[in-house]
Amino acid sequence: MRLLDKIKARLKDRTRRRLSTDLRAIGLNAQTMERGQPEEGISGGLMGASLGLIAIQNSPIKWINLLEHPASRYASATFTNVYVVPDSRVRSGGYLELRSARRRTASVYGRVIDIDWTANFVGTRVVVNPDEEWDEDMEERLLDRINNDTTLKTNLIRLNEDITVRSVPNFWCWAISSGSYQESGYSYEHKKLAPSREQWDCFEVIAWHLVEASAAGKPSKDKDSEAEESHEASPVSNEEPPETESPEEPSEQNS
């Protein structure tokens, strides 16, 4: 059994190396990481065993966690890529989940004409520590940004993508996931695990929306505080200094 486990581990690691090679083929700086990283627990709410992380350089998506869904009697093993976006402003009071839903001309077989993003907060907003409280304005900013991005919607419709985004409070990050990628066992004939360049660009745009919508509230708060401080200091700065007699005036009068 130990020999069989070693063979399975090598085959699984080979699957991750194939994914890393496919990612480099579309122009990404991707490197496999050592096994046993704590971030392997980031699943975005999906069930599956992690095959390890792949680090991405120069992108808001820092890691890709490759999840394996075991084979069953009627289907071979499937794999899902979870795209991890670190964000220190993710709060631990609960988690926020966003989903893309296709809007069709008819209920089932109609043509897709638009994509609607919906948000669902799971958990409690009442927390003991005020720093852990969720920013509801951030949720509105995020939905406003992502629903008004017509280019992203057009690309997702053309690529036939359904996206799920979930905050992961334990790791202070967001997890982006799409459909599962299925291959026939661990044979060499397999479906490409990596996304296409167009799909990756869509995931990266979503990641930028997450980071920028989360960070948008902080600069505005700093500006407001600076405005308040300048408003409070303005009466002091506008006070006229007391009049003082110059030493030359008495001499002129005496003359």
9 SS3 class: helix
Residue 245 lies in a domain: no
Residue 228 lies in a domain: no
Integer Cα distance of 106 and 112 in angstroms: 9
Better-scored residue on pLDDT, 118 or 131: 118
pLDDT at position 192: 67
Residue 249 lies in a domain: no
pLDDT at position 229: 40
Say whether pLDDT at 129 is over 70: no
Q: Report the candidate in 190, 228, 204 with the shortest Cα–Cα distance to residue 78.
A: 190
189: Cα within 13 Å, side-chain hemisphere: 2
Residue 134 lies in a domain: yes
Using CA atoms, how far residue 199 sits from 39, 108, 124, 136, 177, in Å, is: 23, 24, 34, 29, 12
Give the tokens for residue 82: 């979870």
Better-scored residue on pLDDT, 126 or 37: 37
What range does the domain containing 52 cover? 2-218
Better-scored residue on pLDDT, 77 or 61: 61
pLDDT at position 150: 94
128 DSSP 8-state letter: S
Number of compact structural domains in the chain = 1
pLDDT at position 250: 47
Integer Cα distance of 84 and 87 in angstroms: 10
Residue 244 lies in a domain: no
Q: Report the candidate in 168, 209, 178, 223 with the shortest Cα–Cα distance to residue 43.
A: 168
pLDDT tens digits, residue range 70-113? 777 776 778 889 999 999 888 777 788 999 998 888 877 788 88
Residue 7 lies in a domain: yes
Better-scored residue on pLDDT, 32 or 110: 32
Give the tokens for residue 144: 């406003």
Give the tokens for residue 72: 């069953």
* Averaged confidence pLDDT in the chain: 77
pLDDT at position 234: 36
Say whether pLDDT at 231 is over 70: no
pLDDT at position 12: 62
Say whether pLDDT at 50 is over 50: yes
202 SS3 class: helix
Integer Cα distance of 103 and 111 in angstroms: 8
Please give the helix or strand (H or E) that residue 168 lies within, else none: strand 164-168
The arithmetic mean of pLDDT across residues 38-54, rounded, is 90
